[in-house]
Homo-oligomer: A and B are copies of this chain.
Amino acid sequence: MRHIVVYEVGPRDGLQNEAASIATSDKIAYVDRLSDAGLPVIEVSAFVSPAWVPQMADAADVFAGIARRPGTRYTALVPNLKGLARAQDANVTDVAIFAAASETFSRRNINQSIEDSLATYAEVVSRALASGIRVRGYLSTAFGCPYEGDVPIDRVVDLTARLLDFGVYEVAVSDTIGVAHPGQVRQLLERLLARVPAGQIALHFHDTRGTGLANVLAALPYDVNTFDASTGGLGGCPYAPGASGNLSTEDLVYMLHGLGYDTGVDLTALLRASALMAPLLTHDLPSRYYQAASRSAHA
Q: What residues make up the interface of A, taking CB atoms closer than 8 Å to B?
A: 178, 181-184, 207-214, 216-218, 237, 239-244, 248, 251, 254-255, 258-260, 284, 286-289, 291-292, 294-295
Contact = CB atoms under 8 A, between A and B. Distances in A.
A215 to B, nearest CB: 9
Contacts of A209: 251, 254, 288-289, 292
A244 B214 contact: no
Given A207-B210, A242-B284, A248-B210, A217 B289 contact: no
B258 A181 contact: yes
Contacts of A239: 295
Contacts of A241: 242, 284
A183 B259 CA distance: 5
12 contacts: A181-B258, A182-B259, A209-B292, A210-B254, A213-B213, A214-B217, A237-B295, A242-B242, A242-B291, A243-B291, A243-B295, A244-B288
Contacts of A242: 241-242, 284, 286, 291
A84 to B, nearest CB: 34
Contact of A210 (B184, B218, B284, B288): B288
A291 B244 CA distance: 8
A286 B242 CA distance: 8
A22 B284 CA distance: 25
A258 B295 contact: no
Nearest to A248: B210
B210 A258 contact: no
A134 B288 CA distance: 35
Nearest to A295: B240
Nearest to A259: B183
Contacts of A251: 209-211
Nearest to A185: B258
- Which of A212, A214, A240, A242 has the most chain B CB atoms inside 10 A of its CB? A214
Given A181-B255, A182-B217, A182-B259, A240 B294 contact: yes
Given A208-B288, A208-B292, A288-B207, A254 B183 contact: no
Contacts of A243: 288, 291-292, 295
Contacts of A213: 210-211, 213-214
Given A288-B208, A295-B237, A181 B259 contact: yes
Contacts of A284: 241-242
A259 to B, nearest CB: 4
B183 A260 contact: yes
A241 B212 CA distance: 21
A107 to B, nearest CB: 19
A239 B295 CA distance: 9
A213 B208 CA distance: 13
A282 to B, nearest CB: 13
